Chains A and B, each alone.
Chain A
Amino acid sequence: MRLPGLLNDALRTFRRTPLLSALSIASIGFSLFTIGLFGLVALNFRETLQGIAERVEVVAFILRGTPTEAVTAASQDIQAFPEVLEVDYVTAEQALDRARTELVEFQEAYRDLETNPLPASIEIRLKPEFRDGASAQRVAERIRAFAFIDDVRYGRDWVQRLDRLRDMAGVIGLVIGLAFAVVAIVIIGVTIRITVLQRAGEISIMRLVGATNRYIRGPFLLEGLIKGVLGGLLAVAMCWATFSLFRKSTGELGGSVVFFQPVHLLLIVIFGTLLGLMGSLLSVGRHLRHV
Chain B
Amino acid sequence: MIRFSHVSKTYANGVQGLRDVSFHVPKGQFVFLTGHSGAGKSSILSLIIGEQKPTAGEVRVSGFPIGKLGQRDVPRLRRKLGIVFQDFRLLEYRTVEENVGFALEVTGARREAIPGRVMRALTQVGLAGKARVYPKELSGGEQQRVAIARALVNDPPVLIADEPTGNLDERATRGIFQLLQQINGGGTVVVMATHNLALVRDTGYRVIELKGGQIVYDSSAEPAPGATA
Contact = CB atoms under 8 A, between A and B. Distances in A.
Given A209-B150, A210-B75, A210-B79, A12 B93 contact: yes
Given A1-B105, A5-B105, A215-B106, A209 B78 contact: yes
Contact of B75 (A2, A204, A211): A211
Nearest to B76: A210
A112 to B, nearest CB: 94
Nearest to B81: A210
Given A5-B105, A213-B71, A215-B106, A208 B83 contact: yes
A16 B72 CA distance: 30
A205 B88 CA distance: 10
Contacts of A201: 89
A212 B102 contact: no
Nearest to B71: A213
A16 B83 CA distance: 26
Interface in B73-132: 74-79, 83, 89-91, 93, 102-103, 105-107, 111
Given A1-B105, A5-B105, A215-B106, A210 B89 contact: no
A205 B78 CA distance: 11
Interface in A205-256: 205-213, 215
A130 B107 CA distance: 64
Residue from A1, A16, A209, A211 having most chain B Cβ neighbours under 10 A: A209
A204 B78 CA distance: 12
Interface residues of B, number: 22
A206 B71 contact: no
Nearest to A208: B83
Nearest to A1: B105
B212 to A, nearest CB: 28
Contact of A207 (B78, B102, B150): B78
A54 interface: no
Interface residues of A, number: 18
A215 B102 CA distance: 12
Contact of B107 (A2, A204, A210, A213): A210
A202 interface: yes
Contacts of B111: 2
Given A206-B106, A207-B78, A212 B72 contact: yes
B75 A16 contact: no
Nearest to B78: A210
B102 A209 contact: yes
B102 A16 contact: no
B167 to A, nearest CB: 16
Interface in B181-207: none
Contacts of A208: 49, 78, 83, 89
B76 to A, nearest CB: 7
Nearest to B93: A16
Nearest to A13: B93
A209 B102 CA distance: 8
Interface string A1-24: 110010000001000100000000
A201 B154 CA distance: 21
A186 B19 CA distance: 46
B93 A209 contact: no
Nearest to A212: B75
B114 to A, nearest CB: 11
A279 B206 CA distance: 49
Contacts of B78: 207-210
Nearest to B156: A210
A39 B89 CA distance: 48
Nearest to A289: B71
Interface in B137-172: 150, 154
Given A1-B105, A205-B89, 19 more contacts: A2-B111, A16-B93, A201-B89, A202-B91, A205-B90, A208-B78, A209-B78, A209-B83, A209-B102, A209-B103, A209-B150, A210-B77, A210-B78, A210-B103, A210-B154, A211-B106, A213-B71, A213-B75, A215-B106
19 contacts: A2-B111, A201-B89, A205-B89, A205-B91, A207-B78, A208-B49, A208-B83, A209-B83, A209-B103, A209-B106, A209-B150, A210-B77, A210-B78, A210-B79, A211-B75, A211-B106, A212-B72, A212-B106, A213-B75
Interface of B: 49, 71-72, 74-79, 83, 89-91, 93, 102-103, 105-107, 111, 150, 154
Interface of A: 1-2, 5, 12, 16, 201-202, 204-213, 215
The 5 A-B residue pairs with the shortest CB-CB distance, nearest first, are A210-B78, A210-B79, A209-B103, A211-B106, A212-B75
